[in-house]
Amino acid sequence: MTAVLIRATGQNLQMAYNQSLKSLGIVRLLERSEMLASGDIAALVYLWNPLTIVTCVGSSTSPIENLVIVLSLYGACRRLVPLAAFGWVIATHLSLYPAILIVPLILILGYGPDSPRRKLFQQRASIKVGENPSTDIHYQQKELASQPMLPLRFSWRLVVHFILWASLWSCYVLLLCGISVRQYGGLGEMFKSTYGFILTVPDLSPNIGVLWYFFAEVFDYFRNFFLIVFHVNILFMILPLAIRLNHRPCFLAFVYIAISSLLKSYPSVGDSALYLGLLGLFVEELADMQFSFFLFCGYVGISFLSPVMHNLWIWRGTGNANFYFATAMAYACFQIILVVESVSAMLNHDRMLRKLSIMKP
Amino acid sequence: MSLVMLEQVQKFRIREMELSFTQGRWNYERWGGFDPISSSNAKPPGVELWAVFDVPHDLVDASWKNLTHTLSGLFCASINFLESSTAYSAPDWGFQPFSGSLRYGSLPREAVCTENLTPWLKLLPCRDKAGLATLMDRPSIYRGFYHSQRLRLSSTEFGSTEVESGIALDQTLTVVLQPTTSHRASMTYSSDSVLQPSWSLSSIFGRKVSGRCVLANSSNVYVQVERGLMSELKILHAEDEGSGADNLTFEKTWNNPGFELSIAPNRVIKEVNILHDETSIVLYEYLIDNYSNSEPFDLGFTWKFPVVWSSPQAPLHASRFLMGSGNERGAIAISLKATEPSDGLWFADTIENSCMLRFNVFQVVPWYVRVYFHTLQVFVDGKPQSVTDFIERMRISPSEDKVSPGVMEMALKLPCCVKSVTLTLEFDKGFLHIDEYPPDANQGFDIPSAVISFPDFHASMHFLKDDSLNKSPLLSKFQERSPVLCYTEVLLVPLTTPDFSMPYNVITITCTVFALYFGSLLNVLRRRVGEEERFLKSKDSKKTGRLGQLLSKLFAKLRGKSWEPTQTQSASSSLISSKLIFKVILVAGIAAGWQYYSG
């Protein structure tokens, strides 16, 4: 189901991309390269990703979390506000980190799906106006009318709807939870056990992240300090990324998902399956990303090496915790490189679009 | 009784308490499991403490905590480790038929030495300076197979009835020794068996009893001849003297074909049995009043004929072991095998003409061995059975990480003809912080002994109703009806350990990864095209050497870009380093501020 939704989101994004390119008049770009169906690619990547398959085989609940995240993105792209709100509330309820997706969701609802910078549209419009000073307002209106998806204004109506629906869904979910956990200590106990567990990291079982070994070795005096530092690292990046990438909210959502799966307290390969699938939505823009082959080899290598080291350490007793932790750190480094390079490639693509739109008369 | 213990009882309002220090494991197969000695004196290795308090329900834990600290100071042992809620449990009915405010804790790894024995002896009125306690020669005691010192306190002060209110303190030292054989058995007998070694008090302890303690009301030594030995001697006597032997008087003599006592006993006490075909236990009593410094008491026991006998066993012999390999999961198995009933010792609990055997299992498992109680399986005679068929009732308190251990109390009922029962439970191993590991972490962690009790069977002796018998506390203790108990082995569970030598390395490397993420992402976001082009132009003017060109070729291959000779590395390196320095200073400032405000 997630793959179907990704495909639909991808189609939506692609339509928006085409339209925005047309509106900028960069038809030459379209003719130069063939348009890849990014939605289909993303859906196929998600379905055939070995990490997704492994997650499903292991009967984890990650596919359900992925589904509701993609559901919210799809709902936002299609302007289905209740669906988007539902997806976001359930995703936050299941694991705390999708709460940061509220920023890209609001941006999608307000501005619409990914498009080049609004400045370009304004420049284009001003150039056009400059070129044809004699055209009357009628022509301009026709221009504007022929581009119904042009995101020049932030539509507050949809955002307010979203907030209303989100609060409605969250009240409903909290009510249901309250009723079902009443005999176990009430909502406070539930929050302490679920969100408190995610935030305070009491269980130190080895996983593919870097936090377990750190908190097994850190001195008790600094434990709270480092907990705050690690969680603020995710929160801190929300604002700069939102400022820089506010015209591409779907890509912003992808970056947020990648960062939260890198820095979360109990990551799993299900999280990386999600963002690798979403990466496929942006093949057009990220076509000339640096280090792509290196990253691919890195992911493949880590996915082979990590279970081997785990087995050596825990089942055979011949290895050390350091072997397994080294693979976890290498995995984190590869994820960092992926995030940084994809952001850089997207910004480069924007720069290229800007150059092309300026150059064209 | 010493003032210290009186003070403790009054301060903590203890109704009953038992503390035992044990080294070694009681060998139930060889030393018996059905007599009063093994039921009440066979204790699990290490320290075991349980206490019943007379305080309101919410104050019991605080009283327990204070009690553990006090006892720890009194006995020079680390009983204070039992104070945290992860170490003790509150059994309901599995351990004792009390309810409510019983707290039970056990430390299997505690070593017992003379430092624990000395304060225990100090509680005696004469210490070890006079009376029977002068026999406590430390090397002899600690050379044995098993030694256990037990302190039992019961107080009726807080009860509702005021009759006979008082505090009773029972101190018991149980030692299993092997007498040294001074000569190799040179005589071989017809059945090719070896004569048992003869012993005397001076040969075992190196000392003799020179009089009794003046503060003691009575001071007695008893030699008990077990049922099994008695029946073997009877057979021997019958063989020896042919038929028509005087079997009744044989038991009253201390000089018989099997063994000989060097001193004549003051009294011979014979057990009165309920069932007539059982052999009775015989006790030879010696009063120490009659001995003094000039005439010390040194009892000698000489074997005359090799006898092989078996001690009466509990209905089921319990053992416990671990299954599975690897440091991620495993299983605990409790295996109970039926023992041979000796001389109809048990009475059948007939319910509708069928004989049923009931027993209780009580097990406490620490939190880092996460037992999944839903995986409980019962195997009867090797075949898996449905759990509800055999379990009468069960009380489970699942473990909570770092808060409480996992407690299991089960009451099972089996038909008497069953030969073996095995209970298995699966568990996952946890992962601890480096501070929580003991000094020798690779040895593993201990799961305390499980307690198997048979509520239907009572290990007690029955004597003729004689007032003089009740004066001896030991005999009145033997006559008490206490349920048969047996303890299983302590399990050693190895857990995965992190690398203890690397806290700094792990912290710095992880923080480096985070800094890499933070710095490079901010840098990418901040980069402006114009500035980069200007920087590249300025770099173009410089000449790059051969090595620089090779390096840049390598990097371009890595990036998948086409190589241009004048392409240099991106301008991000110097910018990243300044970003990093800024971040390091910022984090250091925050840490210093944190330290200042909270330190």
Own/partner pairs, B246-254, CB within 8 angstroms, 24+ separation = B251/B280, B251/B282, B254/B284
Burial B235-267 (b: 16+ CB within 10 A, else e): ebbeeeeeeeeeeeebbeebebebbebebebee
Which member of B430, B502, B591 has the closest CB to residue A217?
B502
The whole-number pLDDT of residue A145 equals 42
Cα(B183)–Cα(B196) distance, integer angstroms: 11
- Which residue from A minimizes the CA distance to B368? A203
Please give the residue that has the higher pLDDT: either A199 or B573. A199
B318 SS3 class: strand
The whole-number pLDDT of residue B283 equals 83
Give yes or no for A230 touching B (CB within 8 A): yes
Which member of A202, A314, A339 has the closest CB to residue B326?
A314
Q: Pick the residue of A340, A354, A356 with the most B CBs within 10 A to test the interface with B by mutation.
A: A340
Q: In what order do the strands lie in the sheet with B220-225?
A: B220-225, B282-287, B267-270
The whole-number pLDDT of residue B340 equals 73
- Residue A154 CA: distances (Å) to CA of A22, A107, A302, B166, B172: 21, 8, 43, 86, 86
Q: At B148, which helix (H) or strand (E)?
A: strand B146-155
Strands B282-287 and B316-323, by their bridges, are unpaired
Contact A213 B506 (CB under 8 A): yes
Cα(A105)–Cα(A113) distance, integer angstroms: 10
At residue B218, what is the residue type? Answer: S
Contact A244 B525 (CB under 8 A): yes
Cα(A281)–Cα(A108) distance, integer angstroms: 15
Percent of chain A with pLDDT over 90: 24
pLDDT tens sequence for chain B (599 residues): 467 767 777 788 888 889 999 999 998 888 888 888 888 888 999 999 999 888 888 888 898 999 999 888 888 888 989 988 888 998 888 887 766 688 999 999 888 888 898 888 888 888 888 888 888 888 888 888 999 999 988 887 655 454 556 788 888 888 888 887 655 444 555 556 677 888 888 888 888 888 888 888 888 888 888 888 888 887 877 776 654 444 445 555 666 777 888 888 888 888 776 665 667 788 888 888 888 888 888 888 888 888 888 888 888 899 999 998 888 889 999 999 988 765 444 544 444 456 788 889 999 999 999 999 999 999 988 888 888 888 888 999 999 888 899 999 999 988 888 888 999 999 999 898 988 888 888 888 999 999 998 888 877 777 776 666 666 778 777 877 788 888 999 999 999 888 888 889 999 999 999 999 999 998 888 877 666 666 666 666 555 556 666 776 776 666 655 444 444 444 455 666 788 888 889 999 999 998 888 86
- Residue A55 CA: distances (Å) to CA of A42, A49, A279, B312: 18, 10, 18, 58
Cα(A56)–Cα(A67) distance, integer angstroms: 13
Cα(A173)–Cα(A93) distance, integer angstroms: 8
Cα(A229)–Cα(A214) distance, integer angstroms: 13
At residue B311, what is the residue type? Answer: S
SS3 content of chain B, % helix, strand, coil (to 5): 30, 30, 40
Contact A313 B496 (CB under 8 A): yes
A87: Cβ contacts below 8 Å, ≥ 6 apart: A68, A69, A70, A71, A72, A73, A74, A75
C-alpha distance across the termini of chain B, in Å = 49
- Residue A95 CA: distances (Å) to CA of A53, A65, A195, A328, B501: 21, 8, 8, 21, 34
Q: And the tokens for B316?
A: 């089921």
Give yes or no for B554 touching A (CB within 8 A): no
The whole-number pLDDT of residue B345 equals 46
Q: And the tokens for A61?
A: 């609940």
Residue reference for tokens 């490397």: B509
Which residues 102-141 on chain A approach chain B with CB closer than 8 angstroms? none
Chain centre to alpha carbon of residue B472 = 31
The whole-number pLDDT of residue B544 equals 52
- From the list B433, B490, B481, the residue with the least C-alpha distance to B461 is B481
Model-level ipTM above the cut of 0.90? no
Chain centre to alpha carbon of residue A8 = 16
A225: chain B residues, CB-CB within 8 Å:
591, 594
B30 SS3 class: helix
At residue A54, what is the residue type? Answer: V
The whole-number pLDDT of residue A356 equals 77
- Residue B514 CA: distances (Å) to CA of A234, B310, B575: 10, 69, 17
pLDDT above 70 (res A143): no
Give yes or no for A217 touching B (CB within 8 A): yes
Min Cα distance A335 → chain B (Å) is: 9
The whole-number pLDDT of residue B542 equals 56
Q: And the tokens for A332?
A: 């984190």
Give yes or no for A321 touching B (CB within 8 A): yes
The whole-number pLDDT of residue A49 equals 86
Q: And the tokens for B586?
A: 């910022």
Radius of gyration in angstroms for the set of CA atoms belonging to chain A, rounded to a whole number: 23
The whole-number pLDDT of residue B570 equals 47
Backbone φ, ψ for residue B321 (5° rounding)? -150, 165
> DSSP label at A226?
H
- Residue A278 CA: distances (Å) to CA of A1, A70, A255: 14, 9, 10
- Which residue from A minimizes the CA distance to B508? A214
- Are A210 and A334 spatial neighbours (Cβ–Cβ below 8 Å)? no
A130 pLDDT tier (thresholds 50, 70, 90): low
- Alpha helices, DSSP H only, in B313-392? 387-390
- Which residue from A minimizes the CA distance to B401? A203
B180: Cβ contacts below 8 Å, ≥ 6 apart: B197, B203
Give yes or no for A234 touching B (CB within 8 A): no
Cα(B383)–Cα(B391) distance, integer angstroms: 16
Cα(A327)–Cα(A315) distance, integer angstroms: 17
- Residue A105 CA: distances (Å) to CA of A279, B92, B285: 17, 55, 92
The whole-number pLDDT of residue B396 equals 92
A53: Cβ contacts below 8 Å, ≥ 6 apart: none
B447 SS3 class: strand
Contact B431 A241 (CB under 8 A): no
Give yes or no for A297 touching B (CB within 8 A): no
Cα(A330)–Cα(A344) distance, integer angstroms: 21
A205: chain B residues, CB-CB within 8 Å:
430-431
Q: Pick the residue of B509, B512, B517 with the most A CBs within 10 A to test the interface with A by mutation.
A: B517
Q: What is the DSSP string of A312-352?
A: IIIIIS-S-HHHHHHHHHHHHHHHHHHHHHHHHHHHHHHHH
> Phi-psi region for residue B379, left (φ > 0), alpha (ψ -120 to 50) or beta?
beta
Q: At B452, which helix (H) or strand (E)?
A: strand B451-459
Residue reference for tokens 């991309």: A17
pLDDT above 50 (res A138): no
- Are B46 and B62 spatial neighbours (Cβ–Cβ below 8 Å)? no
- Are B39 and B485 spatial neighbours (Cβ–Cβ below 8 Å)? yes
Residue reference for tokens 């609060």: A167
Q: Which of A102-111, A122-131, A280-289, B71-80 has the lowest mean pLDDT?
A: A122-131
Question: Mean of the pLDDT values across residues A282-306?
Answer: 87
Q: And the tokens for B156?
A: 């009726």
A290: chain B residues, CB-CB within 8 Å:
559-561
Q: Helix (H) and strand (E) counts for chain B?
A: 16, 25
> Rounded to the nearest 10 degrees, how much is the dihedral formed by the CA atoms of A337, A338, A340, A346?
150
